[in-house]
Amino acid sequence: MNTAEAKAPETSKNKISFSIKGRASAAAAEKAQPVAPKPQTTSEGPKKLPVAVSPLVQNSIPKSRNYEGNTRVDTVARRPSPPPVKVEKVKKKRIKARPELSEDFAQSESVYYRKTGNDSVVGSGTYGKVYKAVHVYTGSPVALKKIRMEGERDGFPVTAIREIKLLQSLNHLNVVALQEVMVEENDCFMVFEYLSHDLTGLLNHPTFALTSAHKKHLAKQLFEGLNYLHDRGVLHRDIKAANILISNTGELKLADFGLARFYQKHAKQDYTNRVITIWYRSPELLLGETQYGPSVDIWSAACVLVEIFTRHAIFPGDGGEINQLDKIYNVLGTPSRSEWPGVDELQWFTLLRPRQRIPSTFAEKYQSRVSAEAFDLLSAMFQFDPTSRPTAADVLEHPYFTVEEPEAEQAVLLSELEGDWHEFESKALRKEKEKQERDARRREKEGAAAAAAGEKRKVEEGSAGGEAVKKAKVGAAAAAVAA
């Protein structure tokens, strides 16, 4: 391709970017709108329309200079124009030098440069892929989340519209910022600020380990973010480690609002219970509850907290509802009616009623693995009765955050971590490791088989050699006899 042609200013013409409400680009667009011209008035004040008068009188009244017949003419245009005021042109200095683009950037067809093929992929999920890219002029990194259009019969997917609208109404340090929505050729992208890691990637990092103070800081930010959402009347409905982004200076931001929605704070309403990745789904949702609130996010956040503390998921089920409930019962015990009033009224309670009473093993499993206050906090969040769980604001007031040592400390050291760690990269690493292990096992097997074959051949050759010797001996003996 001709590089001169491919320079971003020309090619960025293909790009239409818009944002629905409130952001800077929308404000700029508004400013650029042509302003409706104001009606021009003279210093004498507004002119009155001519009043219909009798033809006799009409002739005697001199016609206003501002009317031709009954049509008003522009008064200002007819006046001799005032002497021109000399406006001195102020030469503005260019504040920034015209940016020099590197070769890659200059060749980029988009204003957001990204490496070709799969090299720039940092996530791949329900919607499609998420790419890491760089704004060629500002140099700031962004995440481009492609909106999957295939199979959409009704144009732009409504789920994406919901996600965009929600994100545009949010503005908090612990919620990922949507910068704009971009249409490029046939693709549509949400453009986000870029964060180097997500919690799954970090927790699966082969060497990096968080201190207790770092963990507390991450936990704090998680509940600050949730508190903001719940306060604004938003349920996230997909809190899990892969949807929690972490910057290379230890800032945490909630992401993936694909399942989020506004909820009625003071009225009960029905919502779908098929939300939240199943390992993080609360027992009331698993039992068919449709009138739920922020406490479903608190349950998921408690699961994430356990992962932050131990690096392991607390309820890793096989993907089915029954098995998921079993996983929960095996740790927390089966719920009793006294601790969860109304449990037997849930839609699927009878269907999924536990076959036997199981006692809780939670303390046995976790008390020694987390601090005393952290254990207390987790126990409160893992209550079966959703109305007994603390709110995000309550959680932030818990002694784990306010009293217990160590104090929360931002994981700024993450800046020294090499590479970007998202679920995607950690999965790739795991796959690579598994492949290497498989290869090593195969080589070992092949080696063993080859060794065994070698032995066998030796043995066979040994016996064949023996035969030959025998034959030779027999032959020699026969010859001797003959002689």
Q: Which residues are catalytic?
A: 238
Segment near Mg ion (CB under 5 A); pick from 163-171, 255-263, 271-279, 384-392: 255-263
Structure tokens at 348: 């699927």
Q: Which segment (138-146, 181-189, 196-204, 237-245) binds Mg ion by CB under 5 A?
A: 237-245
Taking the least distance from each CB to ligand ADP, the nearer of 195 and 285 is 195
Residue in 111, 133, 164, 176 binding ligand ADP, rule: CB under 6 A: 176
Q: Which is nearer to ligand ADP, 181 or 332 (CB)?
A: 181
Contact 289, 346 (CB under 8 A): yes
Q: Least distance in Å: CB of 424 to ligand ADP?
A: 6
Residue 233 zone, left/alpha/beta (φ > 0; ψ -120 to 50; rest): left
In the bound state with Mg ion, the residue whose beta carbon lies nearer, of 125 and 354, is 125
Question: Tokens in use for 165?
Answer: 């609208």
Residue 145's binding partner among ligand ADP, Mg ion, none (Cβ under 5 to 8 angstroms by kind) is ligand ADP
Q: Cα separation of 304 and 199, whole Å?
A: 9
Q: Which is nearer to ligand ADP, 58 or 156 (CB)?
A: 156
CB of 143 to Mg ion, least distance (A): 12
Under a CB-based contact definition with an 8 Å cutoff, are residues 301 and 381 in contact? Answer: yes
- Cα–Cα distances (Å) from 385 to 62, 292, 388, in that order, read 89, 11, 5
Which of 184, 198, 256, 297 is in the footprint of Mg ion by CB under 5 A?
Answer: 256
What string marks each residue from 199 to 218 as x (binds ligand ADP by CB under 6 A) or -?
Answer: --------------------
- Which CB sits closer to Mg ion, 192 or 366? 192
In this chain, which of 3, 59, 118, 126 binds ligand ADP, going by CB under 6 A?
126
Segment contacting ligand ADP (CB under 6 A): 3-11, 242-250, 372-380, 441-449? 242-250
The residues in 305-344 that bind ligand ADP, with binding defined as CB under 6 A, are none
Q: How far is the CB of 164 from ligand ADP (least distance, A)?
A: 12
> Residue from 167, 170, 242, 278 that binds ligand ADP (CB under 6 A)?
242
Q: Rounded to whole angstroms, what are the CA distances from 293 to 172, 261, 338, 462?
A: 21, 11, 21, 80
Beta carbon of residue 195, minimum distance to Mg ion (angstroms, whole number): 13
Alpha-carbon gap, residue 290 to 116, rounded angstroms? 44
Residue 473 marked as a ligand binder: no
The site partner of 346 among Mg ion, ligand ADP, none (C-beta below 5 to 8 Å per kind) is: none
Compute how many residues bind ligand ADP; rule: CB under 6 A: 23
Q: Interacting stretch for ligand ADP, rule CB under 6 A, among 62-70, 188-196, 328-336, 401-409?
A: 188-196
Rank residues 264 and 415 by Cβ distance to ligand ADP and give the closer one: 415
243 in contact with Mg ion (CB under 5 A): yes
Picked from ligand ADP, Mg ion, none, the partner binding residue 423 (CB below 5 to 8 A depending on kind) is ligand ADP
Give the one residue of 184, 224, 251, 256 binding ligand ADP; rule: CB under 6 A: 256
128 binds Mg ion per the rule CB under 5 A: no
Q: Which stretch binds ligand ADP (CB under 6 A): 240-248, 264-272, 339-347, 395-403?
A: 240-248
Give me 438's structure tokens.
Answer: 């498989």
The residue behind tokens 């050291």 is 413
273 binds, among Mg ion, ligand ADP, none (CB under 5 to 8 A by kind): none
The piece of 26-34, 132-140, 238-246, 422-430 that touches Mg ion (CB under 5 A) is: 238-246
Give how far Cα 2 sits from Cα of 5, 11, 107, 108, 136, Å.
Answer: 5, 12, 8, 11, 18
- 3-state SS of 191-243 is EEECCCEEHHHHHCCCCCCCCHHHHHHHHHHHHHHHHHHHHCCEECCCCCHHH
174 binds ligand ADP (CB under 6 A): no
Q: Cβ 207 to ligand ADP, closest distance in Å?
A: 20
Q: How far is the CB of 313 from Mg ion (least distance, A)?
A: 16
- Residue 179 makes CB contacts below 8 A (sequence gap 6+) with 19, 23, 142, 191, 192, 193
Show contacts with ligand ADP in window 388-427 (CB under 6 A).
Answer: 422-424
Q: Which residues contact 247 (CB under 8 A, 6 or more apart)?
A: 195, 196, 197, 253, 414
Residues within window 127-166 making contact with ligand ADP, judged by CB under 6 A: 127, 130, 143, 145
Q: Cα 323 to the chain's mean position, in Å?
A: 27
Give binding residues for ATP as ranges: 145
What are the residues binding Mg ion (CB under 5 A)? Answer: 125, 243, 256
Give binding residues as ranges: 145
What are the residues binding ligand ADP (CB under 6 A)? Answer: 122-123, 125-127, 130, 143, 145, 176, 192-195, 198, 242-243, 245, 255-256, 258, 422-424
